[in-house]
């Protein structure tokens, strides 16, 4: 095979430019490794005139990514625009219909339309690859789909949103409030245009849903991910967790249970000596557990020009080398529609609330927990501040639904002020 | 493709049995993922009658792995016997000549005969894969060869011998001598039949040489690996290192320098807060550094039935899915014969010696270091024990050759008793 692989790149933001740089800088290396030249034929973006710091003069230009996708002089369509509707979706479908393979960095598109896209691509004999959509530069899609292909996967976990991990570690290291660090991160450009995608756990939830589909042979089901963002985590929670030997992380967990597929993305307490607990700043970490291999931990940069472009190029090189695999590691038609199991796996919980200054308040809390079948492992009540006293409870293993029942009861009896914070203590 | 992929397994030790178990347990899962059945046609081992806890009655038996390799009813030859000469080598060559693809777990074979085998296989249009040869269950060969294929690789590092890491962490945690823990590990069956393969760094050196070939596009050159085992590491060194915030690890480092390819496998001090420093017990960790991705860290079990079989099955699944790649990620004929650069990269060193009880002894040591161009960062002399006083020195950055020169000088002037211990402080 000495036919060049001809790329069309839709999107010339950070990632698109990163891809152009790699193709230009490493032309010889890529050709040696792939056994054929990797060339860019055409590109597309919103503004043609913008200076992006790379020479695009050798490539044809398209204003519309759909036109790019249909060009006869491209074999592979690279979608690095983002957004799960509109041009990204239209152009991806157009590329498949025009007989092109697709490499995408678009987690939202894959998480929401992955099943339909995979089915279309496989009917057309086309390949969709998306390493860059999950955990940036970490080759975790490859590790899971290919490296662990001989394993029954039992659990996939990870810290997959660098911005949230940055905020949580910065709060702890600088002793700052969530609001202060959020502001800071936003000003530094660390957050999405809609920050809720990051701090609400949505972006990380997309990634988890994609990994779960591969791991368990199920249709991607982002709607079934139990999502909880980091907005309610306070610096007090972080300090209390540290006192008990834990860190708070926005942790995604997907596992198949007797009741169905559980997918959660929520703040969790993890042991501070565990690899996940030791993860600082914007780095991502994914833990894969299989019945033969045991536990594999992958760590690396979760975002940025170089890491994301590196992941895209890994996919490009696979296609150049002739690897043609089903989108999610098995034919899309064979992916099962798993029943979603909410909160199927029980765990101890960390519970923080403000008790109002009334006789018997603590007794009522303890009673509500007991009624919900929850036993208390540890409890601390602090001195009153104004009219309320902070109370910390660590429960024994319970389910989130039992806990929510108890919390509802606290609120009904009027003994707590504000909303109690409940954070799962993850067994890892 | 619904043609089955037919396997012949040579070697029914721990790993071979692990492969049989996976193929039997996950027949349906493997077929769904690969798009074709994975079946075992024939096996071979030394003793047919031994009870291995798995049902082998459905497979043809060969006493000679060479005969197995040539069978018409196998497509893929799996070599999990071990040993770099004799049956393992003969059977691998026979398999290639008979038109079979090969999956091997044999690090020694690949490290010593990798170039010749890759050339033969590529001439014959056959594939050799060897994920299980490096770092057990961690899919690091795949991550490096495929996932990071868009990167210029700058450095590959790792703790790749679980037995040595077990010994070093056990010494520290239990406060035991090297000799005591070696004995213990040997009795527990943690060491190779020839323990020097483990503690001498040879096994880990094989793995490093294989990774270096892929990373830098060079011919595997195990002979060029600077090897130093862990036999000279004492519990005092471990305690002193801990006092300074370091752990001692048997660390492999391969990097391309201006003077050529440096490959080292030796005890090193690494910061105790780094992922490598935090690695306990038999776990392996590999760090990959690329110009686009930055740093990726992979961690997992380095040995054992399940993890090694998982790695073999990852390769089997790739071949079943139609991935056909050059052995070392680029055609064997294009692999360069890199110049070996010994000790090209300078570093601070930890130095421990016994000073004899003579006036001016310390001055002579300081003078010898100074003459060799080595400056001292920190020094401690302890009280005399019998006739010698332990002295600890941390140098500023220097080369190993300058250090060896200074050590030679200490010995000539007769001011040290025994052989000084020098351990590199690795910048990671």
The total domain count for chain B is 3
Residues A24, A28, A30, A34: is their CA dihedral positive or negative? positive
Residues A192 and A173 in one domain: yes
CA distance, residue A400 to nearest chain B CA (Å): 31
Q: Tens digit of pLDDT for each residue in A367-392?
A: 999 999 999 999 888 877 777 888 99
Which two three-digit tokens encode residue A393? Answer: 């409870």
- Tell me the C-alpha distance between B99 and B25, whole Å: 28
Are A147 and B32 in contact (CB < 8 Å)? no
Whether chain A has a CB inside 8 Å of the CB on B16: the answer is no
To the nearest 10°, report the CA torsion of B87, B88, B90, B94.
120
Size of interface A-B (CB pairs under 8 A): 200
Residues A94 and A62 in one domain: yes
Residues B173 and B114 in one domain: no
CA distance, residue B346 to nearest chain A CA (Å): 26
Whether chain B has a CB inside 8 Å of the CB on A151: the answer is yes
Whether chain A has a CB inside 8 Å of the CB on B335: the answer is no
Query: Residue B419: inside a domain, yes or no?
Result: yes
Q: What's the confidence (pLDDT) of residue A414? A: 87
Q: What's the confidence (pLDDT) of residue A388? A: 84
Mutate to test the interface with A, among B135, B150, B299 (most CBs of A within 10 A): B150
Per residue, what are the HEC states of B312-379? HHHHHHHHHCCCCCCCCCCCHHHCECCCECCCCCCECEEEEEEEECCCCHHHHHHHHHHHCCCCEEEE
The residue of chain B nearest to residue A334, with distances taken between CA atoms, is: B32
In the predicted structure, residue A1 carries a pLDDT above the cut 70: no
Q: What's the confidence (pLDDT) of residue B388? A: 84
Mutate to test the interface with B, among A2, A135, A139 (most CBs of B within 10 A): A139
Are B150 and A310 in contact (CB < 8 Å)? yes
* Domain of B83, in residue numbers: 5-133
- Sort residue A377 into left (φ over 0), alpha (ψ -120 to 50) or beta: alpha
Q: What's the confidence (pLDDT) of residue A392? A: 92
Q: What's the confidence (pLDDT) of residue B342? A: 80
Contacts of B311 in chain A (CB under 8 A): 147, 293
Whether chain A has a CB inside 8 Å of the CB on B297: the answer is yes
Highest mean pLDDT among A359-363, A415-419, B315-319: B315-319
Query: Residue B290: inside a domain, yes or no?
Result: yes
Domain boundary, last residue among A267, A301, A335: A301
Domain boundary, last residue among A133, A151, A183: A133
The active-site residue out of A207, A247, A249, A364 is A207
Contacts of A297 in chain B (CB under 8 A): 297-300
Q: What's the confidence (pLDDT) of residue A268? A: 97
Residues B129 and B266 in one domain: no
Contacts of A217 in chain B (CB under 8 A): 29, 32
Residues B155 and B287 in one domain: yes
Kind plus residue range of the DSSP H or E element containing B315 = helix B305-320
Whether chain B has a CB inside 8 Å of the CB on A36: the answer is no
Q: What's the confidence (pLDDT) of residue A370? A: 94
Residues B36 and B164 in one domain: no
Are B330 and A33 in contact (CB < 8 Å)? yes
Residues B211 and B121 in one domain: no
Residues B126 and B159 in one domain: no
Task: Going residue by residue through chain B, which has 428 residues, state the pLDDT in tens, using 9 for 90 and above.
Answer: 589 999 999 999 999 999 999 999 999 999 999 999 999 999 999 999 999 999 999 999 999 999 999 999 999 999 999 999 999 999 999 999 999 999 999 999 999 999 999 999 999 999 999 999 999 999 999 999 999 999 999 999 999 999 999 999 999 999 999 999 999 999 988 898 899 999 999 999 999 999 999 999 999 999 999 999 999 999 999 999 999 899 999 999 999 998 999 999 999 999 998 999 999 999 999 999 999 999 999 999 999 999 999 999 999 999 999 999 999 999 999 999 999 998 778 999 999 999 988 888 889 999 999 999 999 999 888 877 777 888 999 999 999 889 999 999 988 888 898 889 999 999 77
Residues A108 and A215 in one domain: no
- Tell me the C-alpha distance between B411 and B399, whole Å: 19
CA distance, residue A270 to nearest chain B CA (Å): 16
Which spans in A321-382 are helix H? Answer: 361-371
Closest C-alpha to B29, from A214, A181, A37: A214
Query: Residue A341: inside a domain, yes or no?
Result: no
Contacts of B139 in chain A (CB under 8 A): 142-143, 146-148, 296
Chain B window 243-282: which residues touch A at a Cβ cutoff of 8 Å? 275, 278
Select from B152, B297, B323 the Cβ nearest to the Cβ of A300: B297
* DSSP reduced 3-state for B24: helix
Kind plus residue range of the DSSP H or E element containing A155 = strand A153-159
Q: What's the confidence (pLDDT) of residue B57? A: 96
Q: Tens digit of pLDDT for each residue in A280-299?
A: 999 999 999 999 999 999 99
Contacts of A105 in chain B (CB under 8 A): none
DSSP per residue, B249-262: EEEEEEEEETTEEE
Residues B75 and B104 in one domain: yes
Cα A10–A14–A20 angle (5° rounding)?
Answer: 60
Identify the CATH number of the domain in which residue B95 sits: 3.40.50.720
Mean pLDDT of A156-171: 96
Query: Residue B74: inside a domain, yes or no?
Result: yes
CA distance, residue A225 to nearest chain B CA (Å): 24
ipTM exceeding the 0.90 mark? yes
Identify the CATH number of the domain in which residue A163 sits: 3.30.360.10
Domain boundary, last residue among B83, B98, B133: B133
Q: What residues of B are annotated to the active site?
A: 207
| Structure-model confidence comparison of residues B2 and A7, the more confident one | A7
Which spans in A77-201 are helix H? Answer: 87-97, 107-123, 140-142, 162-174, 178-187, 196-199
Are B297 and A298 in contact (CB < 8 Å)? yes
Are B150 and A300 in contact (CB < 8 Å)? no
Kind plus residue range of the DSSP H or E element containing A255 = strand A246-257
- Residue A107 in marked binding region: yes
- Tell me the C-alpha distance between A373 and B32, whole Å: 43
Query: Residue A312: inside a domain, yes or no?
Result: no
- Tell me the C-alpha distance between B409 and B411, whole Å: 5
CA distance, residue B26 to nearest chain A CA (Å): 8
In the predicted structure, residue A343 carries a pLDDT above the cut 80: no
DSSP letter for B49, please.
S
CA distance, residue B366 to nearest chain A CA (Å): 40
Whether chain B has a CB inside 8 Å of the CB on A374: the answer is no
Chain A window 98-127: which residues touch B at a Cβ cutoff of 8 Å? none
Identify the CATH number of the domain in which residue A355 sits: 3.30.70.260
- Tell me the C-alpha distance between A6 and A146, whole Å: 25
Whether chain B has a CB inside 8 Å of the CB on A82: the answer is no
- Sort residue A102 into left (φ over 0), alpha (ψ -120 to 50) or beta: beta
Whether chain A has a CB inside 8 Å of the CB on B294: the answer is yes
Select from B143, B150, B307 the Cβ nearest to the Cβ of A26: B150
Q: Tens digit of pLDDT for each residue in A190-239?
A: 898 899 999 999 999 999 999 999 999 999 999 999 999 999 999 999 99
The total number of residues shown for chain A amounts to 428
Residues B115 and B227 in one domain: no
- Tell me the C-alpha distance between A343 and A263, whole Å: 8
Query: Residue B341: inside a domain, yes or no?
Result: no
Whether chain A has a CB inside 8 Å of the CB on B152: the answer is yes
- Sort residue A367 into left (φ over 0), alpha (ψ -120 to 50) or beta: alpha
Residues B9 and B128 in one domain: yes
Are B323 and A326 in contact (CB < 8 Å)? no
Query: Residue B343: inside a domain, yes or no?
Result: no
Alpha carbon of B411 to those of B348, B368, B394, B419: distances in Å? 21, 10, 19, 8
Query: Residue A325: inside a domain, yes or no?
Result: no
Beta strands A128-129 and A153-159, pairing class: unpaired
């Amino acid at each position: 095979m000495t036919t060049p692989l001809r790329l069309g790149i839709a999107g010339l933001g950070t990632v698109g430019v990163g891809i152009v740089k790699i193709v230009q800088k490493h032309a010889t290396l890529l050709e040696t490794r792939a056994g054929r030249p990797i060339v860019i034929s055409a590109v597309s973006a919103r503004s043609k005139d913008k200076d992006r710091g790379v020479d695009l003069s050798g490539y044809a230009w398209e204003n519309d990514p759909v036109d790019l996708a249909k060009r006869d002089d491209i074999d592979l369509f690279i979608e690095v625009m983002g957004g799960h509707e509109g041009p990204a979706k239209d152009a991806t479908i157009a590329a498949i219909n025009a007989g092109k393979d697709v490499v995408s960095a678009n987690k939202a598109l894959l998480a929401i339309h992955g099943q339909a896209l995979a089915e279309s691509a496989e009917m057309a004999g086309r390949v969709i690859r998306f390493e860059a959509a999950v955990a940036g530069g970490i080759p975790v899609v490859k590790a899971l789909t290919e490296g662990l292909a001989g394993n029954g996967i039992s659990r996939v976990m990870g810290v997959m949103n660098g911005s949230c991990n940055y905020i949580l570690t910065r709060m702890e290291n600088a002793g700052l409030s969530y609001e202060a660090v959020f502001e800071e991160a936003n000003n530094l450009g660390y957050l999405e245009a809609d920050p809720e995608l990051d701090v609400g756990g949505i972006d990380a939830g997309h990634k988890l849903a994609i990994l779960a589909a591969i791991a368990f042979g199920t249709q991607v089901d982002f709607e079934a991910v139990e999502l909880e963002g980091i907005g309610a985590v306070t610096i007090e929670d972080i300090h209390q967790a540290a006192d008990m030997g834990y860190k708070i992380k926005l942790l995604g967990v997907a596992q198949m249970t007797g009741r169905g597929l559980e997918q959660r993305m929520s703040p969790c307490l993890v042991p501070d000596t565990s690899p996940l607990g030791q993860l600082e700043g914007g780095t991502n970490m994914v833990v894969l557990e299989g019945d033969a291999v045991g536990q594999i931990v992958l760590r690396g940069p979760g975002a940025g020009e170089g890491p994301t472009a590196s992941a895209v190029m890994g996919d490009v090189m696979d296609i150049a080398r002739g690897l043609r695999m089903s989108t999610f590691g098995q034919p899309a038609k064979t992916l099962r529609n798993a029943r979603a199991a909410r909160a199927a796996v029980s765990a101890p919980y960390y519970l923080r609330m403000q008790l109002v200054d009334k006789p018997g308040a603590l007794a009522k809390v303890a009673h509500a927990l007991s009624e919900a079948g929850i036993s208390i492992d540890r409890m601390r009540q602090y001195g009153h501040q104004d009219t309320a006293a902070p109370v910390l409870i660590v429960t024994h293993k319970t389910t989130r639904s039992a806990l929510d029942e108890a919390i509802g009861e606290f609120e009904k009896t009027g003994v707590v002020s504000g909303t109690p914070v409940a954070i799962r203590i993850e067994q890892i």
